[in-house]
Amino acid sequence: MPTPLLLGAAALAAGGGWAARSWLRHGGHLREGEHALPRHAWQWVPVASLLAGLVMAAPHLDSAVQAIGYAAAAPLLVTLAAVDLQVRRLPDRLTALLAALAAGLATLAAATGGGWEAWRRALLAGALLGLAYLVLALIAGGGGLGLGDVKLAPGLGLLTGLLGWSAVVTATFLAFLSGSLHAAYLLARGHGRKATLPFGPHLVVGTVLAVAVG
């Protein structure tokens, strides 16, 4: 039934958010020389994980695999955004974990009736998005997209590609729209063109919203 499934998805997302909060509070994401934030600074992570899990899972309750899979991805996406906001990088272990989770979701969804066409589309979307972001990063020369964003892209492509090409396009469009608005805001506040803009959170927002409407 949809209601128990949605409650289970919410519990999974919230639980993952609390685990992420504990990991962040203990500085699990920090490198030598990077300073920890006050412990209360991560209070928003479980709440954001719960909300992201709900909006990502709710439209897909006709498939228990997709609902649970997207709920499981939510706290990981929020954690990636949180880390990028603090230290301006996306840890390889988190981007790799997201890609593995997304690939597992696509495979399990296909094996349980979702169809292998969607699986092939998800893999292709992940590969194409990773390649496209790599080209953009090389063109930008480190001034826009970073290698962390490139490594994040395949996981996001897998998550959205499972739903269709429109979801991939929507996520990408929303990410760049959000990033452009953020950049315009920084310029309006007088930060200058060299202000550091973490793009990971915008990629995460675009993906969450695309899955929610997919």
Q: What confidence score (pLDDT) does residue 101 get?
A: 98
Does residue 148 have a pLDDT over 70?
yes
Q: What confidence score (pLDDT) does residue 184 get?
A: 87
Over residues 35-64, the mean pLDDT reads 95
Q: Name 108's Cβ contacts closer than 8 Å, sequence gap at least 6.
A: 65, 69
The Cα-based distances of 173 to 92, 167, 177, 194 in angstroms read 24, 10, 6, 23
- The DSSP call for residue 144 is S
Least confident of 43-47, 152-156, 188-192, 205-209: 188-192
Does residue 197 have a pLDDT over 60?
yes
First-to-final CA distance of the chain? 21
Domain spans of the chain?
A: 2-213
Assess contact for 62 and 9: CB atoms under 8 A. no
